[in-house]
A and B are shown apart, each in its own frame.
Chain A
Amino acid sequence: MLTSSIVFTLILIIALGTFAYNLYRIIANIRIGRDLDRSDRKPDRWKNMIRVALGQSKMVRRPIAGILHIIIYVGFIIVNIEMIEIIVDGVFGSHRFLSSILPIKLYNFLIASFEILAFLVLVACILFLVRRNVIRIKRFFGKEMTNWPKTDANLILIFEILLMSAFLTMNAADSILQGLSTHYTHVGSFPVSQFILPIIDTLSYNNLVFLERFCWWFHIIGILVFLNYILISKHLHIFFAFPSTYFANLNPLGGLSNLDSVTKEVKLMMDPNADPYAQASDSTNISPQSFGAKDVADLNWVQLLNAYSCTECGRCTSNCPANQTGKLLSPRKILMDTRDRITEFSYKKRNKLEDNKTLLGDYITSEEIWACTSCNACTDSCPIELDPLSIIIDLRRYLVMEESAAPTELNMMFTNIENNGAPWQFSPADRLNWKDE
């Protein structure tokens, strides 16, 4: 018993340690982003997080995926109560620790509900695999869904199926052993795993003990591996959906941010009494920020948090008018590229490697961002309120204000507004002519 307790405790510490370290790195990467104040309206932010992330309010807009997702989500949270027991048992060598402190009826109820949920999760994961790989639902494909994103999605589902199977098989072996040895406390109610009994009840006592222990270790080590895998996977949304909805844009979707750096410059330009030298001496120790974004460090931290939170479901892209009419733009790709680039950017920065790539150009092309109609179909359809549109606008801002690289027709539109106060070439003096026409 002692050896296994030590081994378990070591594995637990290593797994949680690497998880904490890598999570810390991701948070450090997010902090590379520019400041953005989202500390206002705290009660509204809590409400939004509870409604959208905890309450899954936007998932059910697509009912089949939504309901299957809620099953997995509820199953994940409830079955993880069992983790308390597994960890205590592992560290102290006890068996079914919770049964010794909880009323037996409650314990049996808990085990039974874990089993039912585990089974439902199993079924939902199989259906999700079928939707992806057999029915081949269109939004799971597309040019940004290369090998890794597809494998990632399947791996997560297979992981969960294996974990749930191990959990149920462990219970089945345990329920037989309860009648054979006093070490196995006679507790639990097994509405699902009883159906596994016919397959394993011919096994010898030793083989049953081995099967129970094997499943127990497989399940807990599997969960710890999965925990660490999440950090390199799209599955990170199970944690980051919460901060992403908490820090989401709560204003009407149509309003874009006003750039403060531009406000300063425009006020200075429009103020006849402004002393240009005063401004310069004020800001000599602050390096000037570029207007808009060329690379991930020019984005704000919420945009980077969004990139890490995206689970690549593709609802944004399947509603994007540009994408649906064959243009290069895919809002999902904008978020995926941003995550890939921040990973690369921070890695190269940490290791002091040469980095001659940028988000704009090497990952996202100008053709993609000029296809956007800013219609907000992407932001509205995202189940966790991510905002790829704000990234598109920031990239456009860089192209226009830093590189003067807008399409020719748009440059003409700008000139018209500057000269005539209208996007077309009409004289401002004719603005009221319609009245008498």
Chain B
Amino acid sequence: MDELTVKTMAQLRAEGKEPDFLFWVGSAGSFDDRAKRITKAFVRIMNKAGVDFGVLGTEESSSGDAAKRAGNEFLFQMQAFTNIEIMNGYNIKNIVTTCPHAYNTLKNEYKGLGGNYTVVHHTEFILKLISDGRLIIKGDLRGKKITYHDPCYLGRANNIYNQPREVIKSLGVDIVEMKRSKRKSFCCGAGGAQMFKEPENGTQDININRTEEALGLQPDIIATGCPFCNTMMTDGVKSVKEGAAEVLDIAELIADNI
């Protein structure tokens, strides 16, 4: 695998540089083994397209999404103020992130606390790279059956439905849609801090319900654009029918075909 070129904002500042974009890696993208593969795939894409970006590295801290949704507004705002102080210190204007939860929080919730940034999700970002001709898709996924699971925090929360689909289509495949897609997409079960707790008592786990729907289409690949959805769907496939389909982030699909 190619060597990744990643510089921190601190290194760039020492070199007297201000990059075009901050890549917000997020806690999952930094620490979770599965999510780290998504992070690296996205970096490979940015390296390939020659994107001028930096990361906060050890200066990055949880966006506070999970704390806020679990009701801990104190902790959320502590996190927000800390992150905003650091980002404003680096004069950051543009942020790209692979996590829809960080995307939503940085874009919609930091602005009331003094953090005004243009935030894009990596699927929007990749689509722009492709349409600007900075990223050439070499391979394709022809012959593969692929479905796309809309992350709630990208879809309903922020109305991003088409960009991820456009990126997938650039690989020469049509998406087989689930009955509950786009606006009607069914949650993976991780949002609202559920990722960090056992589900309440019920008749079924939410991720199983969703995975059964996806596997009902007999896809080769379940694509998504969120590290939490990825975990939930991966676990779902393991429980419902191990090996029945691969759960991959859109960044991974692209990184393997450039």
Chain A interface (Cβ within 8 Å of chain B)?
Answer: 251-256, 258-259, 262-263, 265-267, 269-270, 291-292, 319, 321-322, 324-329, 367, 370-377, 380, 393, 395-401, 406-407, 409-410, 412-414, 417-418, 421-424, 426, 428-435, 437
Contacts and interface: CB of A to CB of B under 8 A. Distances in A.
B157 A321 contact: no
A433 B58 CA distance: 9
B70 A400 contact: yes
B48 interface: no
Contact of A252 (B58, B62, B79, B108): B108
A255 B101 CA distance: 10
Nearest to A429: B58
Contact of A291 (B64, B73, B194): B73
A421 B196 contact: no
B197 A254 contact: no
Of B55, B77, B192, B199, chain A has the most CB atoms within 10 Å of the CB of: B192
B108 A251 contact: yes
Contacts, number: 211
Contact of A393 (B43, B69, B189): B69
Interface in B1-55: 4, 6, 8, 25, 27, 29-32, 36, 39-40, 43, 55
Nearest to B71: A396
Given A252-B108, A437-B36, A401 B67 contact: no
Contacts of A329: 200
B112 A431 contact: no
B109 A255 contact: yes
Contacts of B58: 428-429, 431-432
B131 interface: no
A430 B61 CA distance: 12
Given A322-B206, A367-B201, A373-B206, A270 B81 contact: yes
B153 interface: yes
A270 B84 CA distance: 13
Contacts of A255: 104, 107-109, 157
Interface of B: 4, 6, 8, 25, 27, 29-32, 36, 39-40, 43, 55, 57-58, 60-62, 64, 66-75, 77-79, 81, 104, 107-109, 112-113, 152-153, 156-159, 183-184, 186-187, 189-206, 209-210
Contacts of B8: 432
Nearest to B194: A373
Given A254-B104, A326-B202, A367-B201, A321 B62 contact: no
A397 B67 CA distance: 10
Given A380-B156, A435-B6, A266 B192 contact: no
Contacts of B39: 434
B1 to A, nearest CB: 11
7 contacts: A258-B73, A258-B77, A265-B74, A373-B206, A375-B192, A407-B198, A410-B193
Given A321-B187, A413-B66, A399 B71 contact: yes
Contacts of B6: 432, 435
Contacts of B191: 373-375
Contacts of B75: 414, 417-418
A430 B28 CA distance: 13
Contacts of B29: 434
Given A321-B186, A321-B209, 10 more contacts: A251-B108, A252-B108, A291-B73, A375-B152, A375-B156, A409-B196, A410-B193, A421-B60, A426-B30, A432-B30
